[in-house]
Amino acid sequence: MKKRVLFVCLGNICRSPSAEAVFKGLVNKKGESKDFFIDSAGTSDYHEGEPADERMQSHAIKRGYNLTSVSRPFNPEKDWDDFDYIVAMDRDNYRDLENMARNKEDIKKLYMMTDFSKKFNYNFVPDPYYGGSEGFELVLDLLEDASEGLYEFIKQKG
Ligand code: 4NP
């Protein structure tokens, strides 16, 4: 059975498309792409149908990540069933997802990305949308670090 992982932020144009690409890159490096299904979504539909933010794309490509995803809103009727791990970027995302959960089993699938951090001591991935380039770099730093921890967690859980 493939491990199915969905990354979720607000707009699905900055943080979660990056998380999707970084985690796909890691899994690919491990030679395990076929064992995973990885996607991303937003808690809002503000940017539905749009590609990732151009600033986020240009920072990501410098590290070798091609952001190909197109923004879509989280679908509570489908996504809780279609994924095993639903990983929020910040507290607002987490709370919005919690409010969309249908039952306790759904909530068991919910995680914070920074719960898997190994080196960094942040408890959320800050929204880079209204800030400068340091914010986009920080997003990538946090995601690269937490992706390692998430990968280990999933492997351990079996
Ligand atoms: P994201 O960033 O949640 O990481 O995709 C944002 C994108 C858009 C907005 C806010 C955050 N917005 O307000 O439109």
CB-CB contact of 15 with 9 (8 Å): yes
CB-CB contact of 58 with 127 (8 Å): no
**Does ligand 1 come within 6 angstroms of the Cβ of 13?**
yes
CATH of the domain at 144: 3.40.50.2300
pTM over 0.95: yes
The answer, yes or no, to whether residue 32 has pLDDT greater than 90, is yes
Task: Output the pLDDT for position 73.
Answer: 98
pLDDT bracket for residue 97 (50, 70, 90): very high
Task: Output the pLDDT for position 131.
Answer: 93
Neighbours of 154 (CB within 10 A): 18
Task: Output the pLDDT for position 114.
Answer: 98
pLDDT bracket for residue 75 (50, 70, 90): very high
> How many Å lie between the centroid of ligand 1 and the Cα of residue 139?
13
> How many Å lie between the centroid of ligand 1 and the Cα of residue 44?
9
Which is the catalytic residue, given 9, 14, 53, 90? 9
- Give me the domain span that covers residue 52: 3-157
**Does ligand 1 come within 6 angstroms of the Cβ of 40?**
no
Neighbours of 116 (CB within 10 A): 18
Number of domains in the chain: 1
